[in-house]
Structure 1
Amino acid sequence: MTHTHSTELDALVGGARHRLDTLRETHERLDRIRFRVTSPDNLVTVVADGSGAMVELELAENLGSVTARVLASTITCVAAEAAAGALDHRESILQSLQASFTDS
Protein backbone atom coordinates (compact mmCIF):
# COMPACT_ATOMS: atom_id res chain seq x y z
CA MET A 1 0.00 0.00 0.00
CA THR A 2 1.37 3.40 -0.93
CA HIS A 3 1.78 6.27 1.47
CA THR A 4 -1.10 8.14 -0.24
CA HIS A 5 -3.48 5.22 0.26
CA SER A 6 -2.39 4.85 3.87
CA THR A 7 -3.00 8.55 4.50
CA GLU A 8 -6.41 8.39 2.84
CA LEU A 9 -7.33 5.32 4.88
CA ASP A 10 -6.15 7.01 8.10
CA ALA A 11 -8.28 10.05 7.26
CA LEU A 12 -11.29 7.86 6.53
CA VAL A 13 -10.90 5.93 9.80
CA GLY A 14 -10.36 9.18 11.71
CA GLY A 15 -13.51 10.66 10.23
CA ALA A 16 -15.52 7.55 11.09
CA ARG A 17 -14.22 7.61 14.68
CA HIS A 18 -15.09 11.28 14.99
CA ARG A 19 -18.65 10.65 13.78
CA LEU A 20 -19.03 7.68 16.12
CA ASP A 21 -17.82 9.80 19.06
CA THR A 22 -20.27 12.52 18.05
CA LEU A 23 -23.12 9.98 17.94
CA ARG A 24 -22.19 8.65 21.39
CA GLU A 25 -22.02 12.16 22.83
CA THR A 26 -25.38 13.03 21.29
CA HIS A 27 -26.95 9.88 22.70
CA GLU A 28 -25.68 10.78 26.17
CA ARG A 29 -26.96 14.35 25.85
CA LEU A 30 -30.40 13.07 24.81
CA ASP A 31 -30.47 10.67 27.77
CA ARG A 32 -29.68 13.50 30.17
CA ILE A 33 -32.50 15.81 29.04
CA ARG A 34 -34.70 16.81 31.94
CA PHE A 35 -37.03 19.80 31.57
CA ARG A 36 -38.69 21.06 34.76
CA VAL A 37 -41.77 23.30 34.84
CA THR A 38 -43.60 24.57 37.91
CA SER A 39 -47.14 25.96 37.83
CA PRO A 40 -47.54 29.68 38.60
CA ASP A 41 -49.21 28.82 41.92
CA ASN A 42 -46.30 26.51 42.86
CA LEU A 43 -48.67 23.59 43.45
CA VAL A 44 -47.44 21.35 40.63
CA THR A 45 -43.98 20.62 39.23
CA VAL A 46 -43.40 18.26 36.33
CA VAL A 47 -40.12 17.00 34.90
CA ALA A 48 -40.10 15.58 31.37
CA ASP A 49 -37.34 13.58 29.69
CA GLY A 50 -36.02 13.82 26.13
CA SER A 51 -38.94 11.87 24.73
CA GLY A 52 -41.41 14.24 26.36
CA ALA A 53 -42.47 11.65 28.94
CA MET A 54 -43.22 12.74 32.47
CA VAL A 55 -40.52 11.32 34.74
CA GLU A 56 -41.34 13.24 37.88
CA LEU A 57 -44.44 14.82 39.38
CA GLU A 58 -44.26 16.92 42.52
CA LEU A 59 -47.38 18.16 44.28
CA ALA A 60 -47.39 20.78 47.02
CA GLU A 61 -48.59 19.74 50.44
CA ASN A 62 -51.32 22.40 50.56
CA LEU A 63 -53.57 21.06 47.81
CA GLY A 64 -56.72 21.53 49.86
CA SER A 65 -57.27 24.93 48.30
CA VAL A 66 -57.96 23.54 44.79
CA THR A 67 -60.57 21.21 43.42
CA ALA A 68 -59.64 17.91 41.83
CA ARG A 69 -60.70 19.27 38.43
CA VAL A 70 -58.44 22.33 38.76
CA LEU A 71 -55.56 20.17 39.98
CA ALA A 72 -55.98 17.77 37.06
CA SER A 73 -56.06 20.66 34.62
CA THR A 74 -52.95 22.20 36.17
CA ILE A 75 -51.06 18.90 36.01
CA THR A 76 -52.05 18.46 32.37
CA CYS A 77 -51.00 22.00 31.40
CA VAL A 78 -47.70 21.86 33.27
CA ALA A 79 -46.93 18.39 31.87
CA ALA A 80 -47.62 19.61 28.34
CA GLU A 81 -45.34 22.60 28.84
CA ALA A 82 -42.56 20.40 30.26
CA ALA A 83 -42.91 17.94 27.38
CA ALA A 84 -42.76 20.75 24.82
CA GLY A 85 -39.66 22.19 26.44
CA ALA A 86 -37.94 18.81 26.55
CA LEU A 87 -38.80 18.10 22.92
CA ASP A 88 -37.53 21.54 21.88
CA HIS A 89 -34.26 20.79 23.66
CA ARG A 90 -34.09 17.39 21.94
CA GLU A 91 -34.68 19.02 18.55
CA SER A 92 -31.86 21.48 19.20
CA ILE A 93 -29.46 18.64 20.02
CA LEU A 94 -30.47 16.69 16.91
CA GLN A 95 -30.08 19.78 14.69
CA SER A 96 -26.60 20.22 16.11
CA LEU A 97 -25.81 16.59 15.27
CA GLN A 98 -27.09 17.02 11.74
CA ALA A 99 -25.05 20.19 11.27
CA SER A 100 -21.90 18.45 12.49
CA PHE A 101 -22.37 15.69 9.92
CA THR A 102 -23.14 18.18 7.16
CA ASP A 103 -20.01 20.21 7.98
CA SER A 104 -17.66 17.24 7.96
Structure 2
Amino acid sequence: MKYLVILNANSIAGKLYLQGNNDGTVKENTTMHPVLHCIHIDMDTYSPSYILLNRKSLKKEKLHQSILLPPHSIEMILEFFDEEDLADPLNDKLPIGFVKT
Protein backbone atom coordinates (compact mmCIF):
# COMPACT_ATOMS: atom_id res chain seq x y z
CA MET A 1 0.00 0.00 0.00
CA LYS A 2 0.97 3.57 -0.48
CA TYR A 3 -0.33 6.70 1.12
CA LEU A 4 -0.74 10.38 0.34
CA VAL A 5 -0.50 12.29 3.60
CA ILE A 6 -1.99 15.77 3.44
CA LEU A 7 -0.50 17.98 6.12
CA ASN A 8 -2.35 20.78 7.90
CA ALA A 9 -0.94 23.99 6.43
CA ASN A 10 -1.35 25.76 9.79
CA SER A 11 0.81 23.27 11.71
CA ILE A 12 4.56 23.71 12.10
CA ALA A 13 5.24 20.59 10.00
CA GLY A 14 2.81 21.81 7.35
CA LYS A 15 4.49 25.20 7.16
CA LEU A 16 7.94 23.60 6.84
CA TYR A 17 6.95 21.15 4.10
CA LEU A 18 4.99 23.85 2.27
CA GLN A 19 8.27 25.73 1.76
CA GLY A 20 9.70 22.78 -0.17
CA ASN A 21 10.64 19.11 -0.01
CA ASN A 22 7.00 18.04 -0.46
CA ASP A 23 5.55 15.76 -3.12
CA GLY A 24 2.88 18.23 -4.18
CA THR A 25 0.19 20.46 -2.75
CA VAL A 26 -3.58 20.42 -2.43
CA LYS A 27 -5.62 23.60 -2.46
CA GLU A 28 -8.58 24.03 -0.11
CA ASN A 29 -10.30 27.37 -0.80
CA THR A 30 -7.27 29.68 -0.62
CA THR A 31 -5.10 27.44 1.59
CA MET A 32 -2.35 25.25 0.12
CA HIS A 33 -1.63 22.01 2.04
CA PRO A 34 1.60 20.06 1.41
CA VAL A 35 1.35 16.40 0.41
CA LEU A 36 3.84 13.62 1.29
CA HIS A 37 4.05 10.25 -0.51
CA CYS A 38 4.52 7.50 2.09
CA ILE A 39 5.10 3.76 1.78
CA HIS A 40 4.26 2.85 5.39
CA ILE A 41 2.35 4.44 8.26
CA ASP A 42 2.49 3.25 11.88
CA MET A 43 -0.21 4.74 14.08
CA ASP A 44 0.28 2.38 17.02
CA THR A 45 3.92 2.38 18.15
CA TYR A 46 4.07 6.00 19.29
CA SER A 47 0.33 6.46 19.85
CA PRO A 48 -1.28 8.76 20.85
CA SER A 49 1.49 11.36 20.69
CA TYR A 50 2.94 10.70 17.23
CA ILE A 51 2.33 8.98 13.89
CA LEU A 52 5.35 7.39 12.19
CA LEU A 53 5.55 7.99 8.44
CA ASN A 54 8.04 6.23 6.16
CA ARG A 55 8.34 8.47 3.17
CA LYS A 56 9.61 7.76 -0.34
CA SER A 57 9.60 11.01 -2.26
CA LEU A 58 8.08 11.20 -5.71
CA LYS A 59 10.21 14.20 -6.64
CA LYS A 60 13.63 13.03 -5.42
CA GLU A 61 14.46 9.41 -6.25
CA LYS A 62 16.80 8.72 -3.36
CA LEU A 63 14.90 10.60 -0.66
CA HIS A 64 13.67 8.22 2.02
CA GLN A 65 12.62 9.61 5.39
CA SER A 66 11.19 8.34 8.64
CA ILE A 67 9.14 11.12 10.19
CA LEU A 68 7.35 11.34 13.53
CA LEU A 69 4.48 13.82 13.33
CA PRO A 70 1.86 14.75 15.93
CA PRO A 71 -1.67 13.83 14.78
CA HIS A 72 -2.82 17.47 14.70
CA SER A 73 -0.33 18.20 11.90
CA ILE A 74 -2.07 15.72 9.56
CA GLU A 75 -5.19 16.85 7.76
CA MET A 76 -5.97 13.59 5.92
CA ILE A 77 -4.43 10.28 4.86
CA LEU A 78 -5.41 8.73 1.53
CA GLU A 79 -4.53 5.06 0.99
CA PHE A 80 -4.07 3.68 -2.51
CA PHE A 81 -2.54 0.74 -4.31
CA ASP A 82 -1.18 0.18 -7.79
CA GLU A 83 -0.22 -2.69 -10.07
CA GLU A 84 2.96 -3.28 -8.08
CA ASP A 85 0.85 -3.98 -4.98
CA LEU A 86 -1.36 -6.39 -6.91
CA ALA A 87 1.66 -8.27 -8.28
CA ASP A 88 3.03 -8.96 -4.78
CA PRO A 89 1.95 -12.53 -3.85
CA LEU A 90 2.50 -11.78 -0.15
CA ASN A 91 0.23 -8.74 -0.16
CA ASP A 92 -2.98 -9.77 1.56
CA LYS A 93 -3.95 -6.29 2.72
CA LEU A 94 -5.99 -5.08 -0.24
CA PRO A 95 -8.69 -2.51 0.50
CA ILE A 96 -12.22 -3.73 1.18
CA GLY A 97 -14.03 -4.39 -2.08
CA PHE A 98 -10.91 -5.35 -4.06
CA VAL A 99 -10.12 -8.97 -4.87
CA LYS A 100 -7.01 -10.43 -6.49
CA THR A 101 -7.82 -12.27 -9.67
TM-score range, shorter chain: under 0.3
The TM-score normalised by the length of structure 1 is 0.23
Q: Which has the higher strand share?
A: 2
The TM-score normalised by the length of structure 2 is 0.23
The structure with the largest alpha-carbon Rg is 1
Q: Which has the higher helix share?
A: 1
